[in-house]
Amino acid sequence: MRDSKGELVTSTAYTIETAELRDEIIVQGRRMVAIKGRVFLILTIKMVNEYSKELEIKAADYVRLSVGGNETELLAPDIHNDPVRVQAISTKYTRVGFPIYDTDRSVTLYIGEISGDKERVPLQF
């Protein structure tokens, strides 16, 4: 995490635990069903805060999606609970999601800070 001046205050662990395709999801207590020809790619994320203060993290800012090898147009999650509050010295699970075409079976996740290096994680469904 960085402060308003961009200085590193603490580091947090941001781990993609699972990635799954779903036809329906629950968002803010409401059921959402994917339209014909689409599915939701849902990522379960584990965030670990080892800092002595609560952090507010925009989980959607740490992951982007490339579909069909297109690395010039990365997608941001449309489904998220941001900002996620992670209590001091604790672990928090959250989810983010992307609506994609049900024919998109080869995608790549880019994980990391917006302005930093990204880890590439190819997914095959």
Please determine, for residue 29, whether its predicted confidence score (pLDDT) is greater than 90. no
On whether residue 31 sits in a domain, the answer given is: yes
Structural domain of 91: 12-113+117-121
Rounded average pLDDT over 30-48: 95
Q: Are strands 63-67 and 12-22 parallel, antiparallel or unpaired?
A: unpaired
Rounded average pLDDT over 18-31: 92
State the pLDDT at residue 115: 84
Tally of domains in the chain: 1
On whether residue 5 sits in a domain, the answer given is: no
On whether residue 69 sits in a domain, the answer given is: yes
On whether residue 7 sits in a domain, the answer given is: no
Q: Are 84 and 59 in contact (CB under 8 A)?
A: yes
CATH number, domain of 81, equals 2.60.40.1240
State the pLDDT at residue 5: 72
State the pLDDT at residue 3: 62
On whether residue 1 sits in a domain, the answer given is: no
On whether residue 3 sits in a domain, the answer given is: no
Which one, of 56, 48, 64, lies nearest residue 111 by Cα? 64
Please determine, for residue 62, whether its predicted confidence score (pLDDT) is greater than 90. yes
State the pLDDT at residue 6: 67
Query: Distance of CA 1 to CAs 13, 17, 50, 74, Å?
Result: 10, 20, 11, 23
On whether residue 93 sits in a domain, the answer given is: yes
Residue 86's CB: how many other CB atoms inside 10 A? 22
